[in-house]
A and B are shown apart, each in its own frame.
Chain A
Amino acid sequence: GQNIDQPTEMTATEGAIVQINCTYQTSGFNGLFWYQQHAGEAPTFLSYNVLDGLEEKGRFSSFLSRSKGYSYLLLKELQMKDSASYLCAVRDKNYKLSFGAGTTVTVRA
C-alpha cells in the first residue's frame, strides 16, 4: 500500500508562491498526480509525474524524486481562486490511486 503525507494547511498572500510537499512510501510506483479540489466538488487534474524532475504547466509546477519518495506542487502568482484543497495521489501498477489527506491552501488579499 501507500502512505502519503502532506501538510494539512497552508496560508499565503495573493501574488506569492506556495510549495506543497508530499512524501510517500509505496509498493509498485506508477506515477504521482496532483489534483485540486474545491469544497463540495470533485477533484480536477493538475499534474502528473512519473519520471524524476520538474514538470511546468503555467502557474503550476510539480516535481518528483522517486528515490526520495518526494514530490512538491508549486503554485506561483497566487490568485484568490487558488484557495482550495490540493491532493497528492500515488498510482500503483494496477492503476489504483491512493490519496493523501489533502492540503488546504488559503490565499489572502
Chain B
Amino acid sequence: GAVVSQHPSRVICKSGTSVKIECRSLDFQATTMFWYRQFPKQSLMLMATSNEGSKATYEQGVEKDKFLINHASLTLSTLTVTSAHPEDSSFYICSSSSGTGFNEQYFGPGTRLTVT
C-alpha cells in the first residue's frame, strides 16, 4: 500500500501553546487528505477534509480557528492545534486518498499529542 508519514510521532506541549503536525504522502500525489482524532478506546472521528489549494472542510463541532489546516502541495498537509488545552490531548491521524482503484485511504502512523 501507499506510504503516508506524520511528524512528530509524539509531542508534549504546555497549555496555551500551538503545535503543528505534518502529514506527507510519500509515493503518490494526494489531492485529498483527511484529519482524524482518536481518543482512548474510541474510534476515529473525522475532523476535516483537506483539498490541495483550497480551504479545508470541517466536520460539525470542529473549530476551524482552533485546528488550522493547510494543504499547500499535493504531498503535504499540516494541522496546527492553536492554544492547546489538556482536552485536546489525543491521537491525531491523517490519511491520503489515492484517487484510483478503490480510492481507499492510507493512514499515517499518527501523532500522540499530550497537553500539560
Contacts and interface: CB of A to CB of B under 8 A. Distances in A.
Interface of A: 31, 33, 35, 40-45, 48, 87, 94-102
A87 B109 contact: no
A100 B1 contact: no
B49 A99 contact: no
Interface stretch (B61-69, B71-79, B82-90, B99-107): B99-107
Given A96-B49, A98-B46, A43 B107 contact: yes
Contacts of A87: 43-44
B43 A45 contact: no
A59 to B, nearest CB: 18
B42 interface: yes
Contact of A45 (B1, B45, B46, B91): B1
Contacts of B1: 44-45
Contacts, number: 45
Given A48-B102, A97-B105, A41 B43 contact: no
Interface string B104-115: 111111101000
Contact of A102 (B43, B45, B91): B43
A41 B109 contact: yes
Contacts of A40: 91, 110, 112
B110 A41 contact: yes
B25 interface: no
Nearest to B10: A40
Nearest to B94: A42
Interface string B23-49: 000000000101000000011111001
B55 to A, nearest CB: 16
B93 A42 contact: yes
A94 to B, nearest CB: 8
A96 B102 contact: no
